[in-house]
Amino acid sequence: MDIETVKVVINADGQVMIEVDGAHGPVCLQVTDDIVKMLGGDVLSQQLTAEYYVEQAVSEHIKVTE
């Protein structure tokens, strides 16, 4: 399991930059959406990183009984 980290930078002019590391796929958007809602602001621009396009590996365990 990856560790997700969120970096929030507030510039002197009040502009906020949010960067998520360790979250793959749309999970990062869920994290940033919650933060944007808490801050009560509007998104001016959004740049998706390569991590957004990485699919999470899903494993399935099957137990067979006879």
- Domains of the chain, by residue range, sit at 5-53
Distances (CA, A) of 59 to 17, 28, 38, 56, 64: 34, 21, 34, 10, 16
pLDDT recorded at residue 39: 85
Q: Are 7 and 21 in contact (CB under 8 A)?
A: yes
pLDDT recorded at residue 1: 52
pLDDT recorded at residue 7: 92
pLDDT tens-digit profile of 6-59? Answer: 999 989 998 889 998 888 888 888 888 888 888 887 888 988 888 888 765 554
Question: Which H/E stretch holds residue 6?
Answer: strand 5-10
pLDDT, greater one: 33 or 3: 33
pLDDT recorded at residue 12: 93
